[in-house]
Chains A and B, each alone.
Chain A
Amino acid sequence: MSRTDEVNMHISSGAPILWRGLVAPVSCAREGRRVRFGLVAVADCLALALLLNGRFLAGGAVLAGVRAVLVAADLAGFGRGAAQPETAPWRLAILAWLMALAAVLAAGLPGQPADWLRRFPSSRELFQSVSGGIDQVIRSLTQSLGPVFDQIRNVLNFLISAIEQGLGLLPWPVYFLFLGLMAWRRGGAGVLAVVWLCLGYLGLFGYWDKAIVTSALVLASLCVCMVIGIPLGILMAKNRVVGAVLEPVLDFMQTLPSFVYLLPAVAFFSIGKPPALMATVIFAMPPLIRLTALGIGQVPTYVREALYAHGATPMQCLVKAELPLALPSIRAGVNQCIMMSLAMVVIAALIGGGGLGYDVLFALQNVQHGQGLLAGIGIVACAMLFDRIMGRSRGPKDR
């Protein structure tokens, strides 16, 4: 008789139900029901802690409730197929459960050693030495590489102001005409109406110049992202080592809260628009790199083979087959890059990015609800403009 049959027998007869209720984690672990074991084991630890704290009613309720649910689930035959009795290392699981119970018990005792169990022993010294060390590194970097950072700062400054001045030179009707035309080509009258509405809002409420500052930052960020991100994405798809190195870096960049990017940007470039651009680029580039790599990686092997079989160089293969076939994916990456740039540019107002984000920040600091909301809607209008003009097409004309 296999163990599964044995288990089923136990479940179906009356007396073992009582037994099963008592040592629920053990029987769950033996049957390889991982989720149930986890839930019951954690509930038991919680119940024990409650009992030790003198909250007998709550503790008892947890103990009994979990078992009642478990037995009910067994009787209903719920999830019977999920059991994997042969593969589960159940003894290890039970050992971990017993040790956890022991820890709960020990923490419940009065006195010094229990204190150590109740609160994780943190080290203030370690924290301070590491954070101080990081400060030191940044300080020495800014000193030794100061001229380099100044140079980068100048280049970024030039890029931003060139775009800003270029956008500012055009009178507002030009925007209505050209953006309107593009909107019309993309999706007809509906998109045109949305675009004119957004432009009209920005103009009427006096956000025009600020919207241009914000847009210039977004476009500058897009330029830098494309110049760095697309080649990196190609490299990542082509070279396994680069991919393995870049993958965790990108994960890190994408999970780090966006406010944290402001710190190194300020450290190396002080405040103003160049550090705002830097922080924006770091925040907005990962999806472009990822989607470029994805697009190149999705090009079928046989297409590559066909190119090489007819005498292509690797460069010809890239330009004539891989990039064109990856274009939809790269386009999606560019679109995401724009949207994330816009989100970050607003936050970058904190370090002197200016534009619409500054108005939101100002309203927040001075508790001016009306102003803040209107500026926020201005940012939404900008986002919709970018999305409708440069984002993925929705209209039937593009297909």
Chain B
Amino acid sequence: MSAPAIECRGVYKLFGNPACHDEVIGLLREGRIDRTGAQQRFGCIVAVNDASFAVPRGEIFCIMGLSGSGKSTLIRHINRLIEPTAGEIFIDGRPISGLDAGQLRELRARQIGMVFQNMALLPHRSVIDNAALALELRGDDPQSRRRVAASMLARVGLAGWHDSSPAQLSGGMQQRVGLARALAADPQILLMDEPFSALDPLIRRQLQDEFRQLSTRMGKTTLFITHDLDEAIRIGDRIAIMKDGEICQTGTPAQIVGSPANDYVAEFVRNISRLHLVTAGEIAAPTAEPPTDARRVAPGAPLAEVIDIMAETGAPVAVAAPDGTAGLVTPRDVLRALAGRPQ
């Protein structure tokens, strides 16, 4: 089995009062102090508290948390814009703490692209020169970098805009430039720091869908930060929920929504639509003999499909698994599932 593209093991990040960092981390590891205690007793701010996760190649991994949860700090550890206080980050199984300045620049210029919430484009440069930034920084020649940047701009739908200045573009288009800039160096990993949060809802939705397609088609491994659980569910293959610097649950969207690990996560998922997350197999009551006239669906069919059939027939729907077991979904099961009540 190949190593995961990104892996964090026991990452801690503390701010303030460097003298007592080691002591605080020791206490945190033993569970004898919490975030508030660290701030009150030592004046240390615990931004990231024992974060561990692994992202296999090609996966889109979302980290969702509210502001101040440490998610933006955590993502900056992956390309060492921020150094961890303790713990280790691996890219393709290689620890990155040992890289010297030159190797780190290589890593950033060739292997990891990053997109920022506030675009961070250079206002004095044209769109194409912005998109070619990483190539320019690593010393590619002007012709080849213009060619690559142009093809990336075409991919994100900005073909005719090469010589415009960023200020002439709308927010959504600016973020497309940001994406083209991150993709131009053909990195294997994309770090997305709340890339769509500053955009209006319609554009955001459009970009989410486009990004998901693009990332899957290009086979990028993506770490995606967001404060919006809807967005995480739309985009992510897996989601980690972060609170107060800690990751409180990691799982697929269905796992997170279906079985939240604690009250905090449950509070978040309460208002999430289950139409596309809950499957017929999960809510079906086992039965030996489903009625013969009932319509049949596969266990993996989403709730939305079951509802469509029910709206048509008004009768329970049978769920037939390939291994022969059968179940029955009644309108009551559907309503329960929609309300997020356990069976």
A and B pair up: yes
| CB-based contact B134/A325 at 8 Å | no
Surface stretch bound by B, among A36-44, A269-277, A316-324, A332-340:
A316-324
Bitwise, B116-131 to A at CB < 8 A (1) or not (0) is 1110111110000000
In the complex, A138 has a CB within 8 A of chain B: no
Hey, which chain B residues are within 8 Å of A307, CB to CB? 133, 137
Hey, which chain B residues are within 8 Å of A321, CB to CB? 122
Surface stretch bound by B, among A129-137, A201-209, A298-306:
A298-306
* A321 to chain B: closest residue by CB: B122
Hey, which chain B residues are within 8 Å of A303, CB to CB? 120, 122
In the complex, B79 has a CB within 8 A of chain A: yes
Surface stretch bound by A, among B106-114, B156-164, B231-239, B269-277:
B106-114
| CB-based contact A311/B106 at 8 Å | yes
Bitwise, B75-110 to A at CB < 8 A (1) or not (0) is 010010100000000000000000000000111111
| CB-based contact A310/B181 at 8 Å | yes
Give chain A nearest CB distance to B141 CB in angstroms: 16
| CB-based contact B105/A311 at 8 Å | yes
Bound CA–CA A327/B110 (angstroms): 30
| CB-based contact A302/B108 at 8 Å | no
Bound CA–CA A308/B108 (angstroms): 8
Hey, which chain B residues are within 8 Å of A320, CB to CB? 122, 133, 136-137
* A301 to chain B: closest residue by CB: B120
Give chain B nearest CB distance to A17 CB in angstroms: 50
In the complex, B185 has a CB within 8 A of chain A: yes
In the complex, B138 has a CB within 8 A of chain A: yes
| Count of residues in A whose CB is under 8 Å from the partner chain | 18
In the complex, A309 has a CB within 8 A of chain B: yes
| CB-based contact B116/A306 at 8 Å | yes
Hey, which chain B residues are within 8 Å of A305, CB to CB? 76, 81, 116, 120
Known: A302-B116, A306-B114. A312 touches B137 (CB 8 A): yes
| CB-based contact A308/B109 at 8 Å | no
| CB-based contact A310/B133 at 8 Å | yes
Which residue of B116, B120, B122, B191 contacts A324 across the interface (Cβ within 8 Å)? B122
Bound CA–CA A333/B124 (angstroms): 20
Hey, which chain B residues are within 8 Å of A312, CB to CB? 105, 137
| CB-based contact B122/A308 at 8 Å | no
Bound CA–CA A47/B134 (angstroms): 75
In the complex, A313 has a CB within 8 A of chain B: yes
Hey, which chain A residues are within 8 Å of B134, CB to CB? 310-311
* B105 to chain A: closest residue by CB: A311
| CB-based contact A309/B114 at 8 Å | yes
Hey, which chain A residues are within 8 Å of B118, CB to CB? 300, 302
Give chain B nearest CB distance to A325 CB in angstroms: 7
| CB-based contact B114/A310 at 8 Å | yes
| CB-based contact B81/A309 at 8 Å | yes
Bound CA–CA A283/B206 (angstroms): 57
* A302 to chain B: closest residue by CB: B120
Known: A302-B116, A302-B118. A311 touches B124 (CB 8 A): no
| Count of residues in B whose CB is under 8 Å from the partner chain | 29
Hey, which chain A residues are within 8 Å of B117, CB to CB? 302
Which residue of A300, A313, A324, A327 contacts B105 across the interface (Cβ within 8 Å)? A313
Give chain B nearest CB distance to A214 CB in angstroms: 35
| CB-based contact A311/B138 at 8 Å | yes
Interface of A is mostly: helix
Give chain A nearest CB distance to B148 CB in angstroms: 14
Give chain A nearest CB distance to B194 CB in angstroms: 11
Give chain B nearest CB distance to A7 CB in angstroms: 37
Hey, which chain A residues are within 8 Å of B116, CB to CB? 302, 305-306
Hey, which chain B residues are within 8 Å of A324, CB to CB? 122, 124
| CB-based contact B114/A316 at 8 Å | no
Hey, which chain A residues are within 8 Å of B76, CB to CB? 305
Hey, which chain A residues are within 8 Å of B113, CB to CB? 310
Known: A302-B118, A309-B81. A325 touches B123 (CB 8 A): yes
Give chain B nearest CB distance to A366 CB in angstroms: 54
Hey, which chain B residues are within 8 Å of A308, CB to CB? 81, 108
| CB-based contact B122/A311 at 8 Å | no
Known: A302-B116, A316-B137. A309 touches B122 (CB 8 A): no
* B136 to chain A: closest residue by CB: A320
Which residue of A300, A310, A325, A327 contacts B137 across the interface (Cβ within 8 Å)? A310
Bound CA–CA A312/B191 (angstroms): 17
Hey, which chain B residues are within 8 Å of A306, CB to CB? 114, 116, 120-121, 133
Hey, which chain B residues are within 8 Å of A316, CB to CB? 137
Bound CA–CA A392/B138 (angstroms): 35
| Of listed B116, B120, B121, residue having the most chain A CB within 10 A | B120
Give chain B nearest CB distance to A100 CB in angstroms: 42
| CB-based contact B122/A310 at 8 Å | no
Give chain A nearest CB distance to B132 CB in angstroms: 10
| CB-based contact A309/B137 at 8 Å | no
* A312 to chain B: closest residue by CB: B137
* B130 to chain A: closest residue by CB: A306
Bound CA–CA A305/B133 (angstroms): 13
Bound CA–CA A300/B113 (angstroms): 20
Bound CA–CA A316/B133 (angstroms): 11
Bound CA–CA A321/B130 (angstroms): 11
| CB-based contact A310/B109 at 8 Å | yes
Hey, which chain A residues are within 8 Å of B110, CB to CB? 311
| CB-based contact A310/B185 at 8 Å | yes
Bound CA–CA A325/B121 (angstroms): 11
Which residue of B79, B106, B138 contacts A309 across the interface (Cβ within 8 Å)? B79
Hey, which chain A residues are within 8 Å of B181, CB to CB? 310
Hey, which chain A residues are within 8 Å of B138, CB to CB? 311
12 further A-B pairs in the complex, CB-CB below 8 A; given A309-B191, A310-B181, A311-B137: A300-B118, A306-B121, A307-B133, A309-B81, A310-B108, A310-B137, A310-B182, A311-B108, A311-B185, A313-B137, A316-B137, A325-B123
Q: List 24 A-B contacts (CB under 8 A).
A: A300-B118, A300-B120, A302-B117, A305-B76, A306-B116, A306-B120, A306-B133, A307-B133, A309-B108, A310-B109, A310-B134, A310-B137, A310-B185, A311-B185, A312-B105, A312-B137, A313-B137, A316-B137, A320-B133, A320-B136, A321-B122, A324-B122, A325-B123, A325-B124
Pairs A-B, 5 closest by C-beta atoms: A311-B109, A306-B120, A310-B134, A311-B108, A309-B114
